Structure 1
């Protein structure tokens, strides 16, 4: 059964609009600045958690003490 050329044209336009929308979304998600900002935000949130922050502070203090001991020994 043959399809109406106007129907085919409308389907093509809808497909183009959907493709353009998808490309815009991909462009936004793949933006390097956005990726860096998201990674930075995620790292800050992770480091702000007490279960991560306290051991890191402890490791830092231990490192400073070891360096001081090495310098003054």
Structure 2
């Protein structure tokens, strides 16, 4: 094994430590519950805004309202 300069070894350790700190910070940001919730909320809103989905939801809502009215009338 070649002899390595202690200063070079220290620099490599410091660089590895910086890379590890950056990686830990990125993982902490990805795992942030508020960010995850915001991402899920944005995806759901984007999905619901699609015309086919919006029309389907309106149709389901209408059927639900009709069923409730029918059930109330049949009492």
Matched residue, 1:44: 45
> Structure 1: how far apart are the matches of 2:65 and 2:71?
10
> Structure 1: how far apart are the matches of 2:56 and 2:30?
34
Gaps of 5+ in 1: none
Q: What is the aligned residue count?
A: 73
Matched residue, 1:60: 61
The 5 A counterparts of 1:1-73 are 1-73=2-74
TM-score, with normalisation over the residues of structure 1?
0.94
4+ long deviations beyond 2 Å: none
Q: Deviations over 1:4-38 (max 9, x none)?
A: 11110010000000001001111111111111111
